[in-house]
């Protein structure tokens, strides 16, 4: 008999529980087997507007577009307030990653520096809603979860797809997806499974980039993972290859 205990609100506090499976036999001994299924309550403020704006600039840069006619044009494209957009651009301008002028508009001067800032600011753990062990190799887990609707693949898989195309860096065992927590129901779970599945809740803007997270977000999310494979990827990949596209003028 299998059951999933969801977080609940008790005295305004969210409590975490583990997903478990009880196996009952006809023997005198009753054994309980537990699957690791930690569902993590999320806050209403997931990816910040600053992260969303920086990610969009980096995604556009990867596609070869470094310029906007104005900050207002960028704000309009993301349907965000101009004041919010201005505020998010302050720090990148301060370090020389961007320039803004009335004549030339907004231009990304140093996408690698902006990517570095984004990595340091990114808070992946805040977005995570479920962690689970999957009883399948990484490749199978990625294939199975990608078949589900409204799933956006991120992390190592997205980073490889955007850069080398083939993994020649390290054999990773973490699959990161942006989806609803219920996506785990489509996968075989086991406490000793070889693959870790991390499910993060997507922000409303993420879907505009397709079935993969943008290269910059994939890189930043891997940067935020703790395992040695993540460290190897960050050291082996050239950040310029992640975000530095051929420049074209974008007048929106």
Residue 138 lies in a domain: yes
Question: Which pLDDT score, from 0 to 100, does residue 251 have?
Answer: 35
Pair (232, 187) in one structural domain: yes
Residue 204 lies in a domain: yes
Residue 251 lies in a domain: no
Question: Which pLDDT score, from 0 to 100, does residue 47 have?
Answer: 72
- Tell me if 55 sits within 8 A of 216, measured CB to CB: yes
Provide the number of structural domains found in the chain: 3
Residues ≥6 apart with Cβ < 8 Å to 102 = none
> Which pair of structure tokens corresponds to residue 39?
């569902």
Pair (143, 78) in one structural domain: no
Pair (9, 114) in one structural domain: no
Pair (131, 208) in one structural domain: yes
Is beta strand 98-101 parallel, antiparallel or unpaired with respect to 152-153?
unpaired
Q: Is 38 helix (H, G, I), strand (E, B) or coil?
A: strand
Final residue in a domain of this structure, among 120, 150, 182: 120
Please tell me the pTM assigned to this model. 0.80
Mean pLDDT by 10 residues, the chain (252 residues): 36 38 36 46 64 97 94 97 96 97 95 97 95 96 95 98 95 97 94 96 96 98 97 96 66 36
Pair (149, 234) in one structural domain: yes
Final residue in a domain of this structure, among 85, 105, 120: 120
Residue 197 lies in a domain: yes
Residue 32 lies in a domain: yes
CB atoms within 10 A of CB 165: 8
Pair (84, 183) in one structural domain: no
Residue 245 lies in a domain: no
Residue 160 lies in a domain: yes
Question: Which pLDDT score, from 0 to 100, does residue 54 have?
Answer: 98
Residue 249 lies in a domain: no
> Which pair of structure tokens corresponds to residue 143?
């294939």
Pair (148, 57) in one structural domain: no
Pair (16, 56) in one structural domain: no
Question: Which pLDDT score, from 0 to 100, does residue 23 have?
Answer: 36
Final residue in a domain of this structure, among 102, 120, 138: 120
Pair (216, 127) in one structural domain: yes
Looking up residue 102, the CATH number of its domain turns out to be 1.10.10.10
Pair (142, 96) in one structural domain: no
Pair (232, 132) in one structural domain: yes
Domain that holds residue 6: 2-39
Question: Which pLDDT score, from 0 to 100, does residue 221 have?
Answer: 98
Question: Which pLDDT score, from 0 to 100, does residue 40 have?
Answer: 53
Residues ≥6 apart with Cβ < 8 Å to 184 = 37, 130, 132, 197, 199
Pair (98, 32) in one structural domain: no
């Amino acid at each position: 008999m299998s059951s999933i205990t969801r977080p609940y609100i008790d005295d305004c506090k969210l409590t975490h529980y583990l997903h478990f499976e009880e196996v009952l036999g006809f023997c005198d001994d009753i054994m309980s087997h537990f699957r690791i299924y930690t569902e993590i309550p999320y806050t209403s403020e997931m990816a910040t507007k600053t992260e969303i704006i920086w990610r969009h600039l980096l995604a556009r840069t990867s596609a070869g577009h470094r310029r906007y006619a104005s900050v207002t044009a960028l704000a309009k494209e993301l349907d965000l307030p101009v004041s919010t957009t201005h505020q998010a651009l302050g720090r990148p301008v301060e370090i020389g990653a961007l320039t803004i002028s009335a004549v030339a508009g907004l231009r990304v001067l140093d996408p690698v520096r902006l990517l570095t800032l984004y990595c340091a600011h990114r808070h992946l753990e805040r977005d995570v809603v479920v962690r689970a062990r999957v009883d399948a190799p990484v490749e199978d887990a990625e294939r199975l979860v990608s078949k589900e609707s409204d799933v956006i693949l991120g992390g190592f898989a997205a980073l490889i797809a955007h850069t080398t195309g083939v993994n020649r860096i390290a054999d990773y065992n973490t699959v990161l997806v942006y989806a609803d927590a219920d996506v785990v129901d489509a996968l075989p779970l086991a406490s000793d499974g070889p693959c870790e599945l991390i499910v993060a809740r997507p922000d409303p803007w993420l879907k505009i980039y397709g079935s993969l997270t943008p290269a910059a977000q994939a890189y930043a999310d891997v940067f935020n993972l703790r395992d040695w494979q993540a460290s190897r990827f960050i050291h082996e990949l050239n950040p310029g290859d992640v975000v530095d596209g051929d420049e074209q003028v974008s007048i929106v």
